[in-house]
A and B are shown apart, each in its own frame.
Chain A
Amino acid sequence: MFSITKRDTSYIGRWWWSLDRWIVIATFLLLGIGVILIMAGSPSVADRLKLNSFYFARRHALMIIPAVGLMLGISFLSLKQIRYLAFAVFGFAVLCLILTPFVGMEIKGARRWINIFGFSLQASEFLKPTFAVVSAWIFYLYKKQPHYPWLWVALGGLVSMLFLLLLQPDLGMVVMISCVWCGQFFLTGLSLWIILIFAIAGVSGILGAYFLFPHVSSRIDRFLATSGDKYSDFYQINQSLDAFANGGLMGQGPGEGVVKKYLPDAHADFIFAVAGEEFGFFLCMFIAMLFVFILIRSFLRVIAEENLYLILSVGGLASGLGLQALINMSSSLKLIPTKGMTLPFISYGGSSLLALGLMMGMILGFTRKRFDPRQEF
């Protein structure tokens, strides 16, 4: 494979030896598992939509190439370049978010997609990773220049982002961004009293969403309803549980899944159930552990760097990733109400893959070993 010695001081050589290759391996594993699972889960969905059976699988596999390219490309960048990129993409995503209510396509009752050069993009997907970097930078500045009102900038930024996302409406992203922001605030040194206040605000926010948005309340109602009846409205989640149960410890084997055929979102939100049915408990556990691995590994890397900006950035980015995977898995296991959130790297979705490439690229860039601790960022 590679034959790069540690003495290689070329650009590539330095990149290779400073890169956290474990995270790269974990990411590739997740992407590989994703391709297999989409081949298993998507044909029935595609057939239902009268598309070619492997329409989704093919598109997904094709999108992996630019996503991986994006990831590796960004990991080459210096901290400063990453920050500039993040700010640029963030600005672009915000612009798109402002535009989507006017020019976006409405899918399943939400206006989240915008058509750019014949390719439908979900702007909010790109907002999530770049927002983490932008807010990390603001929080860092707040620490660096305590006499400037950076906190209010951070808060104002969050509120305006939440406003834009609620217009879509994209509640899942609202939760994600709020959590990332709160996590960063927490890392910055938020006093524990304030955390308590935020916790209360969070709970009331969820309650507010429950009463204000009918689709949220119906989701929660359905979750809370005793759904012992197999033929109740709560069809998808019960099918999902059936799929897991059908899989058992070792799974039914590739292509042998049956329940997956009746999972309307087998290729997207419920792909974890497909994994459960066909490959069993061990693969599911492996997937979960890969996410935890990426999360903890990147945390440990930035802790070692002793750099607040890096801690805030990577803390926000990796938490976002870990949280999204956690929410997806918990939904398909009926631990929490269905959230409409995809499983990173594994679920089908072009925008999502590109955004993940962007995010992993930044994580990889941030977690590279810095030989000069005073490297400018």
Chain B
Amino acid sequence: MKKHSPFFQKYSVSKIGESIFVPFVKMASRRLIFISCLFSFAYSIVIFRLFDVMVFSKIEEEKTVSQIDTSVAQIRANIYDRSAQMLATSLSTYSVYANPKQMIDPKESALKIAQVFSDLKYEDLFEKLTCDKGFVWIKRNLAPQEQDAVLKLGIPGIYFQKESKRIYPQGSLTAHVVGLVNIDGKGVAGVEQKLDVNLSQGVDPVELAMDVRLQHILVQEVEKSVREFSAKGGAGMVMDIHTGEILAIGSFPTFDPNQTSQIDPSAMFNRITTGVYEYGSVMKILTAAMALELNKANLYSVFDATHPIKVGRFQIKDYKGQNRPMPVWEVFLHSSNIGFVKMAQLVGVDAHKSFLKKMGLLDKPKLELPEIGYPLIPKPWKEINTMTIAYGYGLSASPIQMARAMGAVMNGGYLIEPTLLKSKEGEEIKKTRVISEKTSKLVRTLMRLVITDGTGKKAVAPGYEVFGKTGTANQQSGGKYHSNHVTTTFIGGFPFSNPKYLIMVTLDDPSPTKATFGYTTAGWNAAPLAGRIIRRIAPVVGIKPVIDEEDRAKDHMNLVQTKGILYAH
């Protein structure tokens, strides 16, 4: 009998042949059963784990399961003009992004994606797909065909996000008012920004007061004049003076909100609401209204404009001066600086200041736009400031502020906050009386004279009885005024017999042309621009032209000259 290996447990080997295996077989069987138990135990753990993973754990809310994110992005509300012309709408699109950490083969994926999008470069894509992030945009707002093509690539780690793309059907026409959204659908300019919360909730569309027809005429004519006079820019607006609704508002140069990549930031500057300017003679409307309202003068009070006024080392002169004493209506008609300075001096600094405050010239207007400029007010406000502000220098305000004040002058004396939103039917318009009905009518009378017999003759729109005032202001730069760089403005209203609309146009640094005989004053560029606009928009807004306008103009002049106007009121 051989000695046993120490590796084995001791079993007596007593039989020869196969029977010697019996104890071994018994042990092996026992051990086999032991192995079975081990396996059963291990498999029970697997089954327990299965139950745990499959029944108890829920997939986190995170969307890893579906490749297309079907959660409905809130569609941004549309913007319409007053007659439901679409100004801004949203198309629902898909954007494609990648999770580079889930990329199996970034090289191949980048190649495939580059084949779908001709505007994406393989190198850029490869860099994106190999970066150490869990999220990179590949392309925003795909066309349906592009989305289909990407889906068919079947690349793991590529996902779609439902988004919406903002479309502006009127393009640059309404750009400054409507504004635009950024790639993430957030308003970054214009009404889109100011009303972002309302719009993004997507509940009610926004209806603007704007009338696209008027907007089109305004923008077209302003652009024409800007080109004609090689001006740096131009702007204009049309407002309903009884409701404050802005029917048209345009600033040139403009931009196309549908081509965000090509926008020149300077073109986004809104000259009507953001820019603040000195207006020159246009300001005299307010000076006259103030003197009349405060009973410091009537149309026939005489102011001596014979001699320039000396203030310190400079003097206030008239442009094409009459060099004689004149009644107020002539001071207005000839736009005598000297006359208005004297008128304002009569009123006094404090009353002047509080009158302009009342007219809203010293406060930022509340318009539904984020791009609102603050007025530049002299500090301290001394006698000299009152004197210069009287004829339009030393106080800078935005055109929208001027329109607010002028609206009050024209509409019978109510200051109404201008608005870009359409007034709802039956809605009470908030108005504050700032001047009397009578003052309003007298100033309108004076403004009518400017059109019939003064600098505003070129603003005539036959039959629509325009009234208004031109203003040419020397531009200031480096602390000096330059007489060869001017801002020309026309503010007016129509029709005279039943004023309803305010129009304001302004040109930035217009150049003289042959047709203007070398002049760059507002009467030669802003006034004809306003006239052209009124001639086109008055029929659109449904104003019935008067057929005897010239006769009426003569009667009007006669009435003023014979002091008949005094008795008419």
Closest B-chain residue to A258, C-beta based?
A: B65
Q: Which residues of B sit under 8 angstroms from A187, Cβ to Cβ? A: 28, 31-32, 35
Which residues from 248 to 287 on chain A have a C-beta closer than 8 Å to any C-beta of chain B?
A: 248-249, 258-259, 261-262, 264, 276, 280-281, 284-285
- Residues in A whose Cβ lies below 8 Å from that of B36: 295-296, 299
Interface assignment of B154: CB less than 8 Å from any CB of chain A: yes
| Stretch touching chain B among A77-85, A157-165, A304-312 | A304-312
Task: From A22-30, A97-105, A238-246, A351-359, give the one contacting chain B.
Answer: A238-246
Q: Which residues 289-321 in A have Cβ within 8 Å of B in the complex?
A: 289, 291-292, 295-296, 299, 302-303, 306-308, 311-312, 315, 319
A333 touches B49 (CB 8 A): yes
- Selected contact of A288 from candidates B24, B29, B47, CB within 8 Å: B47
| CB neighbours of A188 from chain B (8 A) | 24, 28
Chain A 322-363 residues near chain B, CB threshold 8 A: 322, 326, 329-330, 333, 335
In the complex, the answer to whether A194 meets B7 with C-beta atoms within 8 Å is yes
Chain A residue at smallest Cβ distance from B59: A245
Q: What is the CA–CA distance of A261 and B68 in the complex, to the nearest angstrom?
A: 13
Contact between B35 and A248 (Cβ–Cβ < 8 Å)? no
Instruction: Decide: A235 and B101 in contact? CB cutoff 8 A.
Output: yes
**A319 vs B31: C-alpha distance when bound (angstroms):** 13
User: Which one, A62-70, A87-95, A125-133, A143-151, is touching chain B?
Assistant: A143-151
Contact A242 B55 (CB under 8 A): no
A299 touches B50 (CB 8 A): no
Instruction: Spot the interface stretch: B38-46, B139-147, B523-531.
Output: B38-46
- A136 to B387 alpha-carbon distance, docked (Å): 118
Residues on A with beta carbons closer than 8 Å to the beta carbon of B24? 143, 188-189, 308
Residue A365 at the B interface, CB < 8 A?
A: no
Is B2 an interface residue when CB atoms closer than 8 A count as contact?
yes
- Beyond A249-B54, A262-B156, whether A151 also contacts B5 by CB under 8 A is yes
Q: How far is the CA of A246 from the CA of B18 in the complex (A)?
A: 56
Alpha-carbon gap, A288 to B42, bound state (A): 11
A41 within 8 A of B: no
Known: A48-B156, A189-B24. A291 touches B5 (CB 8 A): no
Q: Is the CB of B25 within 8 A of A307?
A: yes
Set of chain B residues within 8 Å of A144, measured between Cβ atoms: 21
Q: With the chains together, A186 CA to B38 CA distance in Å?
A: 13
Answer whether A231 and B99 are a contact pair too, CB < 8 Å, given A48-B154, A188-B28, A326-B43.
Answer: yes
For chain B residues 1-45, which have a beta carbon within 8 Å of chain A?
2, 4-5, 7-9, 11, 18, 21-22, 24-25, 27-29, 31-33, 35-36, 39-40, 42-43, 45
Cβ of A191 under 8 Å from chain B = yes
Closest to B56 in A: A245
- Contact: B59 with A190, CB < 8 Å? no
Q: Are B47 and A299 in contact (CB under 8 A)?
A: no
B62 within 8 A of A: yes
> Which of B2, B21, B43, B53 has the most chain A CB atoms inside 10 A of its CB?
B53
Question: In this assembly, does B57 line the interface, its C-beta being within 8 Å of a C-beta of chain A?
Answer: yes
Partner of A258 from B4, B35, B55, B66 at Cβ < 8 Å:
B66
Cβ distance A167 to chain B, nearest Cβ, rounded Å? 28
Look across to chain A and name the residue whose beta carbon is closest to the beta carbon of B40: A292
Distance of A146 from chain B, by nearest CB (Å): 6
Q: Which one of B28, B99, B102 contacts A308 once the chains associate, using CB atoms below 8 Å? A: B28
Q: Which of B46, B51, B67, B134 contacts A231 (CB 8 A)?
A: B134
C-alpha spacing A292/B42, complex, angstroms: 10
Q: Does A233 reach chain B (CB closer than 8 Å)?
A: yes
Minimum CB–CB distance from A187 to chain B (whole Å) comes to 5
Residues of chain A at interface, number, CB under 8 A: 63
Once A194-B7, A232-B101, A288-B43 are accepted as A-B contacts, the answer to whether A244 and B35 lie under 8 Å apart by CB is no
Q: What is the minimal beta-carbon distance from A282 to any residue of chain B, in angstroms?
A: 10
Total residues of chain B contacting the partner, CB 8 A: 49
CB within 8 A of B59: which of A242, A302, A311, A330? Answer: A242
Q: Which of A231, A235, A245 meets B57, CB within 8 Å?
A: A245
Q: Are B104 and A276 in contact (CB under 8 A)?
A: no
Chain B residues with CB under 8 A of A147:
2
CB of B64 within 8 A of chain A?
Answer: yes
Q: Is A230 an interface residue (CB 8 A)?
A: yes
Q: How far is the CA of A189 from the CA of B59 in the complex (A)?
A: 48
Determine if A47 is an interface residue (Cβ-Cβ < 8 Å): yes
- Among the interface residues B58, B59, B67, B104, which one has the most CB atoms of the partner chain A within 10 A? B59
With A and B bound together, what is the CA distance between A231 and B22 in angstroms? 59
Residue A183 CB within 8 A of the other chain: yes
Q: Is the CB of B21 within 8 A of A143?
A: yes
B55–A299 CB distance below 8 A:
no
Which residues from chain A contact B57 at a C-beta distance below 8 Å? 241, 245
Does A262 lie within 8 Å of B102, measured CB to CB? yes
Q: Quick check: is A247 within 8 A (CB to CB) of the other chain?
A: yes
In the complex the two chains form, is A276's CB within 8 Å of B35's CB?
A: no
Query: Which residues of B have CB within 8 Å of A48?
Result: 104, 154, 156
Write the chain A residue with the least CB distance to B34.
A186
Q: How many angstroms between the C-alpha atoms of A319 and B43 in the bound complex?
A: 13
Q: In the complex the two chains form, is B25's CB within 8 Å of A330's CB?
A: no
For A305, the closest partner residue in chain B by CB is B25
CB of B79, distance to nearest CB on chain A (Å): 39
| In the complex, per-residue mask of A152-194: 1 if CB is within 8 Å of any chain B CB, else 0 | 0000000000000000000000000000000100111111001
Name the A residues within 8 Å of B5 (CB-CB). 146, 151
B40–A296 touching, CB < 8 Å = yes
Residue in contact with B53 in the complex, picked from A259, A319, A333, CB distance below 8 Å: A333
CB neighbours (8 Å) of B104 from chain A are 48, 264
**A146, A233, A291 pick with most chain B CB within 10 angstroms:** A146
A308 touches B25 (CB 8 A): yes
State the CA gap A291–B60 with chains docked (Å).
32
Question: What are the residues of chain B within 8 A of A146 when measuring CB–CB?
Answer: 2, 4-5
Cβ of B241 to closest chain A Cβ, rounded Å: 61
Q: Are B102 and A281 in contact (CB under 8 A)?
A: no
CA distance A367 to B4 in the complex (A): 31
Q: Are B8 and A189 in contact (CB under 8 A)?
A: yes
| A299–B238 CA distance with the chains assembled, in angstroms | 98
Known: A189-B24, A191-B9. A248 touches B54 (CB 8 A): yes
Task: Report A-chain residues with C-beta under 8 Å of the C-beta of B8.
Answer: 189-191
Provide the residues of chain B in CB contact with A248, threshold 8 Å.
54-55
Q: Note all chain B residues with C-beta closer than 8 A to A259.
A: 64-65
- Once A187-B28, A235-B102, A288-B50 are accepted as A-B contacts, the answer to whether A319 and B7 lie under 8 Å apart by CB is no
A189-B28, A245-B53, A292-B40 given as contacts; is B35 within 8 A of A299 (CB)? Answer: yes
Listed A/B pairs (20) with beta-carbon separation below 8 Å = A186-B31, A187-B28, A189-B24, A189-B28, A190-B7, A191-B7, A194-B7, A230-B60, A245-B53, A276-B54, A281-B54, A285-B50, A288-B50, A296-B40, A299-B32, A303-B29, A306-B25, A322-B43, A329-B46, A335-B45
Residues of B within 8 A of A (CB): 2, 4-5, 7-9, 11, 18, 21-22, 24-25, 27-29, 31-33, 35-36, 39-40, 42-43, 45-47, 49-51, 53-55, 57-60, 62, 64-67, 99, 101-102, 104, 134, 154, 156
Task: Please give 16 more A-B residue pairs, beta carbons under 8 A apart, in addition to A299-B35, A302-B32, A322-B43.
Answer: A47-B154, A183-B35, A188-B24, A188-B28, A191-B9, A235-B102, A241-B57, A244-B53, A246-B59, A281-B50, A284-B50, A288-B43, A292-B39, A315-B32, A330-B49, A333-B49
> Nearest 4 CB-CB pairs, A to B?
A231-B134, A231-B101, A303-B29, A244-B53
